[in-house]
Copies of this chain bind each other. A is one copy, B any other.
Amino acid sequence: MIVLFTDFGLTGPYAGQVKAVLHQVAPQVPVVDLFADAPSRDPRASAYLLAAYAAWFPAGTVFLAVVDPGVGGKRPPVALEADGRWFVGPGNGLLEIVHRRADRSRLLEIAWRPPDLSVSFHGRDLFAPVAASLARGQPIEAEPRPDGFGRRPDWPDDLAEIVYIDHYGNAMTGLRAKAVPANAILIAGGTRIARARTFSDMPAGTPLWYENSNGLAEIAVNLGRADEVLGLKVGDRIEIESSVVSRQKGD
């Protein structure tokens, strides 16, 4: 299976042309759109979203991950093998969090170049053929790179920001729920938000945060749109207020 994680948008010709390449190079391999609306031109926020969702897919999955504002510039094209999954895309930090959380990883810089490489669409011309080759189990032209190559050690392990607003208006953060104290209050858009198990545990219109189906802390409003009710957008900072006072006293 090849999984697309991009900021191409679903509209327009980009995903279609990428899929045309994949079907030609790797016929019969299913192609799945995961995100076509990853945080636009923001490899850092995208990195946390990708890591959270990639972990759900089985080993052997190949991710074509393209959030690439510097296309045509100097960032290297890379392929990362991480716990049995492959990730192909720009070496601009997009794969940082996947890499950091992997038990076993192997980083390659893609050396292959197509005969006709457009300046602005490496997703189609360079990354798609490489991803399709990997999905077929074929070798690619690439050079091993040391583990530290192009890494972003200054990025946090979890990102206290909104990284995605979904179709329902729910706001995903870059925080793994397990990295947040269970009794923590999240503060977003000036509102203090308590944890719940799921929407329907709350009265209609009440904000809550919970562990979403891929492990991220997500902010929602039962039977409402959190983005509108709380005034949230991608990139907004989240504060974590942990009620540790009583525990400090008690310990």
Q: Report which A residues bind B (CB closer than 8 A).
A: 1, 3, 7-17, 19-20, 23-24, 27, 30, 32-37, 40-41, 53, 56-58, 69-73, 118-121, 124-125, 164, 166-168, 197-201, 210, 212-214, 223
Inter-subunit contact A210/B120 (CB<8 Å): yes
Having A11-B36, A124-B213, one finds 4 other A-B pairs with CB under 8 Å, namely A17-B34, A40-B167, A69-B199, A72-B201
Inter-subunit contact A11/B32 (CB<8 Å): no
Inter-subunit contact B167/A14 (CB<8 Å): yes
| Neighbouring B residues of A24 by C-beta, 8 Å | 1, 58
Inter-subunit contact B40/A20 (CB<8 Å): no
A selection of 7 A-B contacts at a CB cut-off of 8 Å is A1-B23, A9-B166, A11-B36, A13-B53, A17-B56, A20-B32, A118-B212
Please measure, in the bound complex, the distance between the C-alpha atom of A34 and the C-alpha atom of B125, giving whole angstroms.
16
Q: Is the interface of A mostly helix, strand, loop or mixed?
A: loop
Please measure, in the bound complex, the distance between the C-alpha atom of A72 and the C-alpha atom of B212, giving whole angstroms.
12
| Neighbouring B residues of A69 by C-beta, 8 Å | 199-200, 223
Inter-subunit contact B15/A33 (CB<8 Å): yes
| Neighbouring B residues of A8 by C-beta, 8 Å | 167
Shortest CB-to-CB span from A85 to chain B, Å, is 13
Please measure, in the bound complex, the distance between the C-alpha atom of A37 and the C-alpha atom of B11, giving whole angstroms.
7
| Neighbouring B residues of A17 by C-beta, 8 Å | 34, 53, 56
Please measure, in the bound complex, the distance between the C-alpha atom of A151 and the C-alpha atom of B120, giving whole angstroms.
34
Q: Which of B13, B20, B213 is close to A121, meaning CB atoms less than 8 Å apart?
A: B213
